Amino acid sequence: MCGIVAYIGPRQAYPVILKGLKRLEYRGYDSAGVALLNHGLKVYKKKGKVADLEESLIGKDLEAHAGIGHTRWATHGEPSDRNAHPHSSASGKLAMIHNGIIENYTQLKTELTKKGYQFKSDTDTEVLLNFIEDIQKNNNCELEEALRIALKRVVGAYVLVLLDQDNPDTIIAARKGSPLVIGIGKGEHFLASDASPIIEYTKDVVYVNDFELAIIKADELVLKNLGNEKITPFVQKLDLELTAIEKGGYDFFMLKEIFEQPDTIFDCLRGRLDVNNRTITMAGVQNNIEQLKNANRIIIIACGTSWHAGLLAEYVFEELCRVPVEVEYASEFRYRNPVIHAGDVIIAISQSGETADTIVAIERAKEQGAFIFGVVNVVGSSIARISNAGAYTHAGPEIGVASTKAFTAQLVVLIMIALKLAKEKKSIDDDRYVYLLNELHNIPEKVKEVLLLDDDIKKLADKYKNAKDALYLGRGYNFPIALEGALKLKEISYIHAEGYPAAEMKHGPIALVDDSLPVVFVATKDSYHQKIVSNIQEIKARKGKVIAVISAGDDMIPKMADDIMMVPEADEIVAPLLSVIPLQLLACYIGIAKGYDVDKPRNLAKSVTVE
């Protein structure tokens, strides 16, 4: 959370930073600000979105060739102008932006307050900045040295970027726990939380590692560790096109990303699934096959939508591979004292690869000897780098805060891993294996068919947009989809929604049912179909409004449901890839009908880099 951008070089810094901040707004949009170096330090900041900052700066002198910018997701201190970044030091000579949390900031603040420091904001960032300046003053040292000393005292996670009025040709940055990419141009450098602000200028990038400091001039990049030793930067080529991060004619990224799913699923399968040769090629699985085959247990850790993908994977792995699976919220796993054995395999699922809780959960499991397999979307992200092995989801950049295409890509990767493992373990018979390969292969075309429901779902959205609550019910493989459908609705339309296993509704949620409650059933044809039909009848008997996602050819549910969304028939293991799509569209259109910015739902951020 929080996006950072910086520039140093011959271009005007402000337009580069502003454009970059707009691309990083998915990381937070409570406030935005820039600091520019031009005959002194100028800091401008504003509560609200980057566009609000831009408007407030019309007519200002923004000339500068070095600058830093920030878009905030508030942690310490409410969203306001004064809590917005960049923060200035007491002397006014330093400005700093920060992504992360300084956990021991109250202790540092007490020390500084005793020395007479006063603070203009409620943030941990301002405290750290003054702590750095205080060290610099007391030790009469360079900023770089003061930063190194300060960071040895800091507990928490950060990317920090500093401007120093007395050294206008240098930007200094440091990283621990939050992401930082440096773009290397000709006589210029770019810094950002991810590569999106950088790609139109250069494809040469360096991903900064934890506990590294970057000292950057227009034509020089020096990386050092906290012990002041130089590190050779590892320059990589970006594999990302500008079009991938633009809206491409859609009003919202979320809609674009929903409609991209035939392609993203195809991309995810491409080069891996070969129906003719009946193979799945995944180097990360193949190279570690003994480890995976011999796992006593698989533990899946993830957060949010990725956790829902993990829940579905539990069902698939247990069914196909006959291995016990547990699914854990990373935020719980990291703090309890889980029993982990050396033979355990952890599958960590993350779109961003930067979710703080998932990263720490991985570290805890690694310490105890577990093997970590990452299922990650963002190439080169922290989780991709700390995993022992992994598979990318290849969904391309996902910018809408509510995850859609990354979720279906995660499911595809997880199903492929399960199939490959099942084949190796001989826990699946050949006919079923070949059948499921074909079923997966056919998914992109079937997703295209589902997307034709677009107009009908818009009408449904209009019909149900004023609901106060909604219940989402599913059984078996469709239970995680019910959870995901409910999450999508509450995230972007602010309608209270709960997902439940359909049979469990009798143990509580059924008390909520009346003629105003929409109940969404995820009821595609599977082994439990007859059971879910009974659940629908139970809701109808209590006058609930039933909206059902059903399979083509189902002639029973249309007679009972108020509204239906029909998807092509598919095996129950791959059917969730179809049944989730109408739910994504429904949530998206309800959000839009209510006039909300579905790409930037209130209080949320796409990449949760704080715990």
Does position 71 interact with ligand G6P (CB under 6 A)? The reply is no
Q: How many residues bind ligand G6P (CB under 6 A)?
A: 16
Q: How far is the CB of 487 from ligand G6P (least distance, A)?
A: 8
Judged by CB under 6 A, the stretch of 42-50, 298-306, 439-447, 583-591 that binds ligand G6P is 298-306
Of residues 504 through 543, those in contact with ligand G6P by CB under 6 A are none
Which three-class secondary structure state does DSSP give residue 601? coil
How far apart (Å, rounded) are the C-alpha atoms in residues 79 and 271? 46
In sequence order, the 6+-apart residues with CB closer than 8 A to the CB of 569 are: 524, 525, 551, 552, 553
Residues 6+ apart with CB under 8 A from 507: none
Of 271, 265, 209, the closest CA to residue 234 belongs to 209
Q: Is 606 in the site for ligand G6P (CB under 6 A)?
A: yes
- Is 426 marked active-site? no
Among 350, 382, 393, 524, binds ligand G6P (CB under 6 A): 350
Residue where the block lists tokens 């674009």: 256
The number of angstroms, rounded, from the C-alpha of 489 to the middle of its chain's C-alpha atoms is 17
Nearer to ligand G6P among residue 123 and residue 351 (C-beta): 351
| 195-203, 348-356, 362-370, 592-600 -> range binding ligand G6P (CB under 6 A) | 348-356
8 A C-beta contact, residue 330 and residue 304: no
Closest-CA residue to 302 (of 190, 217, 385, 410): 410
Q: What's the rounded Cα separation, in Å, for the pair 141 and 393?
A: 46
Q: Does 351 bind ligand G6P (CB under 6 A)?
A: yes
Is 304 one of the binding residues for ligand G6P (CB under 6 A)?
yes
Q: Is 355 in the site for ligand G6P (CB under 6 A)?
A: yes
Q: Tell me whether residue 198 is exposed, middle or buried, using C-beta atoms within 10 angstroms of its C-beta: 0 to 12, 13 to 18, 19 or more.
A: buried
Closer residue to ligand G6P in complex, CB, 179/444:
179
Closer residue to ligand G6P (CB): 143 or 482: 482
CA 386 to mean position of chain CA atoms: 17
- Our answer to whether residue 2 is catalytic in this structure is yes
* 608 binds ligand G6P per the rule CB under 6 A: yes
Q: Is 202 in the site for ligand G6P (CB under 6 A)?
A: no
Contact status: 584 vs ligand G6P (CB under 6 A): no
According to CB under 6 A, which residues from 450 to 479 bind ligand G6P?
none
Which residue from 51, 503, 510, 604 is in contact with ligand G6P, where contact means CB under 6 A? 604
Let me know: does 518 contact 502? Beta carbons within 8 Å.
no
What would the two tokens of residue 194 be?
Answer: 């991810």
In the bound complex, what is the minimum distance in angstroms from residue 330's beta carbon to ligand G6P?
Answer: 8
Residue span binding ligand G6P (CB under 6 A) among the ranges 59-67, 350-358, 517-525, 550-558 = 350-358
Q: Name residue 393's amino acid.
A: T
Shortest distance (Å) from residue 605 CB to ligand G6P:
6
Using the minimum distance from each CB to ligand G6P, give the nearer residue, 27 or 45: 27
Annotated active-site residue in 2, 268, 303, 588: 2
Quick check: 483 binds ligand G6P (CB under 6 A)?
no
Q: Which is nearer to ligand G6P, 213 or 258 (CB)?
A: 258
Q: How big is the chain by its Cα radius of gyration, in Å? A: 25
The CB-nearest residue to ligand G6P is 304
DSSP string, 474-536: E-GGGHHHHHHHHHHHHHHH--EEEEEEGGGGGGTGGGG-STT-EEEEEE-SSTTHHHHHHHH
CA atoms within 13 A on the CB side of 269: 24
Find the binder of ligand G6P among 89, 136, 193, 306 (CB under 6 A). Answer: 306
CB of 460 to ligand G6P, least distance (A): 23
What does the alpha-carbon distance between residue 190 and residue 184 come to, in Å, rounded to a whole number? 7
Q: What is the contact mask toward ligand G6P in residues 365 to 404, using x (rule: CB under 6 A)?
A: ------------------------------------xxx-
Catalytic positions, written as ranges = 2, 606
Q: Which residues bind ligand G6P (CB under 6 A)?
A: 303-306, 350-352, 355, 358, 401-403, 604, 606-608
